[in-house]
Amino acid sequence: MKWVAIILSITIPASIVGFLNPDIIIILMFTGIGIPIALLIIAAPTISIYTIISIWISVLINSERTKKITISIISTIIILFTLPTAMNLITKSSATTEYISGDFNDIAQPMSAYTIAVRQDVGIYPVKEIKCDGFCLHALLTGVADRILMLPTKHPFADIDPELELLSYRFEKRDSCPIVNINPNSSQFSLPRKPGDNRKQKNAAEEARLRISEGQCLIEEKARLSDADIILSRGQLHSADTRKIYSYSLTADTFSVHRITAHIPNVKGEFELVFRSTTGRYMPLFAPLIPTFVSSGQLKVKPGWLRTKESLKAPRQGAQTSDWVYFLTATLGLDLELKTDDLNKRYRQLINVILDNINPPSAADVSTIESYFRQLNTWKKPGMGKADHDLISRIMDRPDFPPPPKLYAVTRRLIDGGDRQQMNNWVTKMIDRYESGQTWSGDLPVNWTMGIERIHGGLKETPANHMKAYSDQLAKLASELDMQK
């Protein structure tokens, strides 16, 4: 048994070192010479426990040495395979009974609802600048619903209180719209795509901004939950015990469970549950049982059992998307695909109408211009087109308008395809706007600092031979930019 003593004399101290200071594994991994030592520490607990159990079994067996070793090794492997497999089956069966067995679907298609309320878990779906999220915008823009009621809550599956106040969103034609900040990141909503379908999904945030610019205002107002034709709830039903996942606990709760429900009013006007779907993931023990050091995230490791990741339900077939989007599009049958025409063309038509007006621009007018040019992709070839070039030139000719974004793209376009006179005229136009100072109203959402930064961006792209006559202005502009920082 000399070899056993040698193995344990190495692996037991290595395991102790790892238990006392798990972070040393990360430190060793970042040093080339320390990688073998780190791997030894990671493997040491497994080697130690397998060796000790094999020795214990061999002591109980009365047989010749070779047979004892063979039987003890096979028995150890069987035990360490059987134990986690049995425990995984028991825990999954229990979770399925507790969370999933009561799921059902009594929704009749096609679903018809003019007002949809959404209760969503604010803990995992945080509220951004605007509470009308991607689904809210898509539903309103496509006409799937007239109103969307949004209720961020920590308790999305609480009993329904019809008198509960929440925020309602709808589009309405008005002469002037209240300012609404629509964040593209919080408005993302990925619709399912079949393999080979490479259609680019339209941007709901940009479409909403354009609708607002056209006089279709996004109205936020208070409503009651009883106003809804259907109440959709989604959120986390149960969270895993992360403290025990990264430990040697065999009974750690590793289940992270999410649920979606739908309620509609019955003949008595009471909201009745008509749909429930539960999904989740858990981390079963790896078979055979392997004690080691597991990553707990952010370059941290802790002693614990090796685990895998599994879903509580079999994966869906077909185009893959989130459970929420699948529920909306497949279960409810909502067509949330934005069927809009050329967004840029509509923007340009709107901006030309604004420029045709001889009156000074409003904050909403300038916001429309800002929204359009910010979303315009000028980095990919062919860069800025002639229509956008002409639009920027018209804006720069109006001193009551601030310089728009993307002046540098006009300069690049002239470098690639313009003549010397066109470039000189463009440079003169930018210099004149700079020397004139802020000629637009201070109530507009573009200040002087933003204006000179844009002019500087346009001039910075200009070839040196076009700038010789403006050396004094450039020096002054550079100095002013430094002072603004």
* Contacts of 65 by beta carbon, 8 Å cutoff, 6+ apart: none
The residues, any chain, with a CB within 8 Å of residue 169's CB and separated by 6 or more, are 131, 132, 136, 140, 147, 148, 149, 150, 218, 219, 220
Contact 350, 214 (CB under 8 A): yes
* Contact of 310 with 282, CB cutoff 8 Å: yes
- Domain residue ranges of the chain, discontinuous segments joined by +: 1-98, 115-185+200-331, 343-483
The β-bridge partners of 272 are 264
**CB atoms closer than 10 angstroms to residue 57:** 18
Describe the crossing of helices 420-436 and 407-417 by its angle, rounded to 10 degrees. Answer: 160
Looking at residue 124, what is its pLDDT?
A: 67
Nearest to 232, CA basis, from 121, 313, 338, 318: 121
DSSP code for 286: P
E-strand stretches of 90-159: 104-105, 115-121, 147-153
* Cα 156 to Cα 121: distance, rounded to the nearest angstrom: 6
Helix intervals (H) in 312-419: 323-326, 343-356, 363-375, 386-396, 407-417
Q: How confident is the model at residue 318, as a pLDDT?
A: 58
- pLDDT tens, 363-383? 889 988 998 898 887 776 667
pLDDT value for 390: 92
CA angle in degrees (0–180, nearest 5) for 347-173-405: 25
Give residue for tokens 């077939």: 317
Q: pTM of the entire structure?
A: 0.75
Mean pLDDT by 10 residues, the chain (485 residues): 79 86 84 84 87 82 76 85 90 89 86 89 65 89 93 91 93 85 70 69 84 89 94 92 83 90 91 93 90 79 88 72 87 84 84 92 90 82 82 94 93 81 88 90 92 89 79 74 58
Question: Is the distance from CB of 307 to CB of 289 less than 8 angstroms?
Answer: no
d(CA 346, CA 324): 32
Per-residue pLDDT of 201-233, as tens digits, reads: 778 888 888 888 888 999 999 999 999 999 999
